Amino acid sequence: MSLALAPDQTRAETRARWASTLTLESPAPSEWGPIVWQWMHQHPDLNFDDGSATTQDVWLAGLAAEAAEGERTWGARSDGRPIGFLGMRPLSPRVWMSRGLCFCRSVHGTGLPHLATARALAEVFALGAEKVCAPYYAHNVRVGAFLRGLGAVEEGCLRGQVTQHGRPVDLKLVAIFAPGKG
């Protein structure tokens, strides 16, 4: 799947066509677990730290446990094909935490991840949430820019919060506020 331009279409027209085929499912289909695991391994240092699940089976068991504790997941499709996975959980009725987002490489730069994430956030805000916090590895500048594009504001830096390959890594924390709340 790529954002190929038809000879008679502009990039904006192509993006609009792709956006018209975008759907979200919540919860994300459980059978997507193996493909999401593959997507996360496209950039492992942007998705895993030394405390992360090391096998697909352990990760899938963790997803099931998190769902039982109230985490909500979404699967994003375009043209009927899986393209992304998002997870968020309530910390309180008004504050939620993003537990992760991952999209297949083929849709990076198409606008589809932004649209899918914005739709999932709108659902959370419709439930009464006023704020969604999102931690990410400080060296993941692409996801930082992606979150800022969704309106995220920086809340702080958690120095040496996790380790990757035995070395401390900082996490940045940002927040996205419901309309009129930030």
42-96 residue pLDDT tens: 999 999 999 999 999 999 999 999 999 999 999 999 989 999 999 999 999 999 9
Query: What is the three-class DSSP state of 39?
Result: helix
Q: Count CB atoms within 10 A of the CB of residue 78.
A: 22
pLDDT in tens, 127-152: 999 999 999 999 999 999 999 999 99
pLDDT in tens, 8-35: 667 777 777 777 889 999 999 999 999 9
Unique residue bearing structure tokens 């590895």: 137
Q: Contact 146/174 with Cβ under 8 angstroms?
A: no
- Domain parsing of the chain, residue ranges: 11-177
Is the whole model's pTM more than 0.95, yes or no? no
Instruction: Tell me the three-class secondary structure of 42-70, residue by residue.
Output: CCHHHHCCCCCCCCHHHHHHHHHHHHHCC
Unique residue bearing structure tokens 């331009």: 5
Which residues, 6 or more positions from 30, have their beta carbon under 8 angstroms from its beta carbon? none
Mean pLDDT of the chain: 93
* Eight-state DSSP code of residue 71: -
- What's the order of all strands across the beta sheet hosting 153-164? 23-25, 72-78, 81-90, 95-103, 131-137, 167-177, 153-164
CATH number attached to the domain at 11-177: 3.40.630.30
115: part of which helix (H) or strand (E)? helix 112-126
* Eight-state DSSP code of residue 105: G
CA distance 86 to 148: 17
Q: Is the pLDDT of residue 1 over 70?
A: no
